[in-house]
Structure 1
Amino acid sequence: MTSYRYTAIDQYGQRQRGVLDVPNEQALMVSLQQQGLELLTFKLGQSLLWRQPRVNTQALILFCVQMEQLLQAGVPLLQSIAELTEQSEHQGMMAALRTVQRDLEAGKLLSQALQAQPKVFPPLLGQLIDAGERTGQLPEIFGHLTRTLSWQAELLAQVRRGLTYPAVLCVMVSAAAYVMLTFLVPQMASFLQSLGQALPWSTRLLLALSDGMMVYGVWLLLGLIALIGTLMLAIRRSPAFAFFLDQRLLKLPVIGRLLHQLVLARLCRFLGLMYQTGIPLLQALEWCQPLLQQRVMAHALADVHQRVLAGESLTASFAATQQFPPLMLRMLSVGETTGALDRMLFQLAAFYDREVQSQLQMLLRLLEPALTIALGLMLLFLMAAVMLPVYDSFSSLRY
């Protein structure tokens, strides 16, 4: 495929610019004619997947909702994609759907067309739509995807809402500390040292911090940036280090439990959804591994997959990893016994979802007063460091 940057004119005489990935110039002209455009000029350009705007979760949810409605109404698949391409107001989604439309016209399946654009459509979409194509339940699959993506978006929005005030407060505390150490304290340093008395430890510490910030502040900032960059590079390049880091995160007192339950909720929801849509259990266990986004739990699920493949029961396989709580094991055992595994998984997902939301709200409620107290203690330290030597100086005066 070659990327072409083109300028074309539509039936109303308006110019349209964009980028298309096609084999040659003739295919470019044919593709534009199918879209009702007449080619004016073109030149080689960057790939469309690198240039198109980012597609957010809300655009994906709207796509799933519209596809469910159109397919349930009996509109053919190719026509549904074409209508959504024309109606889309999101430039990134419009460009992605145009590529999907061309792939469908070339004979590809919808799941293959979506999986060809991993930067736009997450793996879950392609996997579940593949199952829907095999079972003939494509409208129902889009309905499940709508609810799943909405759950993820709501959880993320809740986290963002809860972290807004603490983030603003952290920025204010950092800005106040920087101004204090680089501007206010140097202004008062000569005055405090001119008092001619032994300075208390708080004042000496404040002056030392101010001198260190003035001399090494830039180097500390550069070192912090370098440390963060090195950490991100190590996570990307070293699977062993990334696995070790995920292990440490799971063992943190409060954050670890919250992260563990969040992964369990995601696992139960995705596994139940795949199993309900007709995906074989072994394949569902394999497909769920990258969706967990937590290496320790993904490794445990891979172990479960191997044990089930070797003939062990699902409950025994989960229990052998020692990464899943007793409640989940009991519910899985009931689901295996009664043949209602998907219903048990959805109940577990709802339970862990409530636990995550409850613990997250409690954590955020504790975080706000903790940051407020930290700001108050910083101001108290500043007042004590400045006022104590002044008070000692005035108390030593004789009238």
Structure 2
Amino acid sequence: MAYFKYKGRTGRGQVRQGRVKAGTKKEAIETLKGQGIALSQIQEVNSILYKDITIGSPVKPKEFVIYLRQFSTLIEAGVSLLQSNMILSKQTSSKGLQQALADITQRLESGQAFSDAAESHRKIFPPLFINMVRAGEAGGNLDEILDRMAVYYEKQYETRQKVISALTYPLVVGVIAIGIVIFLLSFVVPRFTDMFASMGGELPLITQFVIGLGEFFKVYWWLFLLVPLVSIVAFKYVQQNNERFAYSVDLLKLRMPIFGPLMQKAALVRMTRSLSSLFHSSVPILQSVEITEKIVENRVIEKVLKQSRTSLARGESMTGPFSHHWIFPPLVTQMISVGEETGSLDHMLGKVADFYDSELNHTTDRLKTLIEPIMIAVLAVIVGTIVASIAIPMFSLFEQIN
């Protein structure tokens, strides 16, 4: 949504000027015409004061899943689209979703189709949902489509939570390790520095290193905050503005020794389940592949899907590009080939999605079992190094006293 500054006259000839909020300039003009204002000028206000600032996604995945399930239930119960949106706009706890549903309700009252109304809020409603709803409106089976979408996004949310769960443990342990190191370097090591200096003699290399690190942190502690922050911001900026770099990052994610297979399975589940849902709803195959390219969230797979779409446009099989790329296991290409030959492509893709969803469960369980001892060992080495740097000179001191 954006703000537009306008100037015009009412039917009585009175001059009116001000600002109006709308998704596009065309919508702003229609809104003002509906208020009986004949416009003489209108332009978008670009000042940051009139920008809708959001951090991350306007609607959390969990909130969107809950909304879809409630929406599907209301439609299946025979509640109209207009009433369903009115009810859900009042019930949802998400401010972004509440505003979007309120706007969609107004559009529905003016006679606009739900899919077109939802498309004006692309940050909330993904392309897959919009196109599936459009297919449901055309086919007269919107209730079935919404139920299928609710199941789809519930499974997608579960898949996302599995990946997050697998990554949470090492992240938490890493933060704890950093906190312990900062505490030891800031409060423990400095207490022994003066004592070691009064002892005289040459300190062990490990002690010199830890003391030097403590002194460096004491003076340049701000670097430990600034460098990660600047690195993250720079990384995100380059990733968004350099397609080649972004592709390399996605490739690296899939190539990682431990987490790569997890990322690969999650991406395959997302791709195959999306295609299965689109094919089942009779969305044309070229359009289905194009939509999946936008929502797969991995540029490596996106590139192969584009090649597959080109292959389909030439009248060839969609599995050709898949079979020549390492990211697609033989099971995927074989099942898709069988689906193409038997005319049950949606069913086969659903089976592939279920298989890799199950594999994702096993992979996350194995990762948790594997990562726990590794992270404990890493933490023990870090803390042990600092403790040893203090203990070794202490032993030397005791030997001198005795």
Q: Same fold (TM over 0.5)?
A: yes
Q: Counterpart of 2:226? A: 222
Q: Counterpart of 1:273? A: 277
Map of 1:70-109 to 2, 5 A cutoff?
Answer: 70-109=74-113
Q: Counterpart of 1:344? A: 348
Displacement of 1:238 in angstroms is: 0.9
Q: Counterpart of 1:10? A: none
Q: Counterpart of 2:135? A: 131
Q: Are 2:296 and 2:302, in contact at CA under 8 Å, matched by a contact in 1?
A: yes
1:176 partnered with 2:174: no
**CA displacement 1:25-81 (0-9 Å, x = unmatched):** 78579xxxxxxxxxxxxxxx9467969x93223332233223323333333322332
Q: Counterpart of 2:372? A: 368
**CA displacement 1:367-397 (0-9 Å, x = unmatched):** 2222222222223222221121121222234
Q: What secondary structure is seen at the aligned counterpart in 2 of 1:75?
A: coil
**CA displacement 1:212-237 (0-9 Å, x = unmatched):** 22233323432232222111110011
**CA displacement 1:315-363 (0-9 Å, x = unmatched):** 3343244542111111112112222111110110011111122112222
Q: What secondary structure is seen at the aligned counterpart in 2 of 1:184?
A: helix
Displacement of 1:163 in angstroms is: 4.5
- Structure 1 unaligned runs (5+)? 5-18, 30-44
| Aligned counterparts of 1:67 and 1:224: Cα–Cα separation in 2 | 42
Q: Are 1:335 and 1:341, in contact at CA under 8 Å, matched by a contact in 2?
A: yes
| Aligned counterparts of 1:167 and 1:363: Cα–Cα separation in 2 | 13
1:331 partnered with 2:335: yes
**TM-score, normalising length from structure 2?**
0.83
Q: Are 1:115 and 1:126, in contact at CA under 8 Å, matched by a contact in 2?
A: yes
Change (3 A) 1:140 1:303: same
Q: Are 1:304 and 1:321, in contact at CA under 8 Å, matched by a contact in 2?
A: no
Q: What secondary structure is seen at the aligned counterpart in 2 of 1:197?
A: coil
Q: Are 1:49 and 1:117, in contact at CA under 8 Å, matched by a contact in 2?
A: no
2:282 alignment partner AA = G
Map of 1:94-173 to 2, 5 A cutoff?
Answer: 94-173=98-177
Q: Counterpart of 2:303? A: 299
Change (3 A) 1:375 1:340: same
**CA displacement 1:227-272 (0-9 Å, x = unmatched):** 2211111001111111122222222222222212211111110001
Change (3 A) 1:69 1:303: same
Q: Are 2:166 and 2:367, in contact at CA under 8 Å, matched by a contact in 1?
A: no
| Aligned counterparts of 1:190 and 1:128: Cα–Cα separation in 2 | 71
Change (3 A) 1:370 1:312: same
1:258 partnered with 2:262: yes
Q: Which moved more, 1:278-287 or 1:121-130?
A: 121-130
Q: Counterpart of 2:359? A: 355
Q: What secondary structure is seen at the aligned counterpart in 2 of 1:74?
A: coil
Q: Are 2:163 and 2:266, in contact at CA under 8 Å, matched by a contact in 1?
A: no
| Aligned counterparts of 2:91 and 2:398: Cα–Cα separation in 1 | 77
| Aligned counterparts of 2:298 and 2:73: Cα–Cα separation in 1 | 34
| Aligned counterparts of 1:227 and 1:67: Cα–Cα separation in 2 | 41
| 1:59 aligned residue (60, 63, 79) | 63
Q: Counterpart of 2:46? A: none
| Aligned counterparts of 2:35 and 2:66: Cα–Cα separation in 1 | 29
Q: Are 2:304 and 2:321, in contact at CA under 8 Å, matched by a contact in 1?
A: no
Identity score, percent? 30
Q: What secondary structure is seen at the aligned counterpart in 1 of 2:213?
A: helix
1:185 alignment partner AA = V
| Aligned counterparts of 2:292 and 2:391: Cα–Cα separation in 1 | 61
Q: Are 2:163 and 2:262, in contact at CA under 8 Å, matched by a contact in 1?
A: no
**CA displacement 1:165-186 (0-9 Å, x = unmatched):** 4433322211111121122212
1:392 partnered with 2:375: no
Q: Are 2:240 and 2:246, in contact at CA under 8 Å, matched by a contact in 1?
A: yes
| Aligned counterparts of 1:247 and 1:164: Cα–Cα separation in 2 | 22
| Aligned counterparts of 1:327 and 1:272: Cα–Cα separation in 2 | 16
Change (3 A) 1:159 1:332: closer
Q: Are 1:20 and 1:28, in contact at CA under 8 Å, matched by a contact in 2?
A: no
Q: Are 1:49 and 1:119, in contact at CA under 8 Å, matched by a contact in 2?
A: no
Q: What secondary structure is seen at the aligned counterpart in 1 of 2:267?
A: helix
| Aligned counterparts of 1:305 and 1:48: Cα–Cα separation in 2 | 36
1:216 alignment partner AA = Y
**TM-score, normalising length from structure 1?**
0.84
| Aligned counterparts of 2:220 and 2:62: Cα–Cα separation in 1 | 45
Q: What is the RMSD of the two structures over their aligned residues, measured on CA atoms?
A: 2.7
